[in-house]
Amino acid sequence: MPAETAQALTTGGTEQRPRHVAIIMDGNGRWATERGWPRLVGHRRGAERVKQIVRACPDLGVNWLTVYAFSTENWKRSTEEVLGLMKIFRRYIEREAEGLSAEGVRLRFIGGRDRLDPKLQALMTSIEARTAGNSRLNLTVAINYGGRDELTRAALRLAQKIARDEIAQPGQDDLSACLDTAGQPDPDLVIRTSGETRTSNFLPWQAAYAEYEFTPTLWPDFTPDHLAEILDRFGLRERRFGGT
């Protein structure tokens, strides 16, 4: 069977592109360690890579990008690494705020904010407000995020609404509306770099029907060309969503 025919049968004759891509940015520390450098060097290089991927997404047809920056489990790392990561987050927001706004990027954050430094929280709130009117790319950064934590908090919000008689017969849509990602489309594609094949508590509810791609490339080495290749492969997948 010719390749063109096979692709037509798979995609219905048109190339499907993921509207929403989510990325588990793994391998920063390993990338630095392999070079004999401190782990934080890898995290700083990883932050630079985020900028490149963000700029590439609109031209690749991606409208929504969600990146996993810091999980609820990452607090278990050394104090030095955690404090260094928080400093990188602050610098990223401070330095990129103007550029993101000028490029039409809307930036939002998901995850529990109560454990974060108040100054970082203020920066997050400020850039969310500053970029709220942008729509060229919707960028969501998960900081102090864990899927189970999010679902627990969402269930509590839903229970409170039920207790106030705001919802009589709760369903899936009601729970979705209580998630950190309320109002955002579910990811079509989840990518994890570094060769690990775990989902690591990332968007378990939202990614229930997402396609997954696990690549051995460490995050600091993950280029827009790597992303483009994965998007091309996504176009060859047949998504049934439980149907035939």
Q: What does pLDDT average to over the chain?
A: 92
Is the confidence at residue 1, as pLDDT, over 70? no
Give me the residue spans of the domains in the chain.
18-234
What average pLDDT does the segment 40-58 reach? 97
Catalytic residue among 63, 74, 174, 186: 74
237 vs 221, more confident: 221
Is 138 among the residues known to form the active site?
no
Catalytic residue among 26, 138, 180, 188: 26
**pLDDT value of residue 244:** 61
First to last CA, the chain: 22
> What pLDDT band is residue 213 in, cutting at 50, 70 and 90?
very high
Find residue 192's DSSP bridge partners: 24, 214
Is the confidence at residue 2, as pLDDT, over 70? no
What average pLDDT does the segment 119-129 reach? 96
**pLDDT value of residue 192:** 98
According to DSSP, residue 168 is labeled S
pTM of the model: 0.91
Architecture of domain 18-234 in this structure: 3-Layer(aba) Sandwich (3.40)
Is 201 among the residues known to form the active site?
no
Residues of the binding site for substrate: 27-31, 39, 43, 71-73, 75, 77, 192, 198-200
Beta carbons within 8 Å of 104's beta carbon, 6+ residues apart: 58, 134, 135, 136, 137
Is the confidence at residue 240, as pLDDT, over 80? no
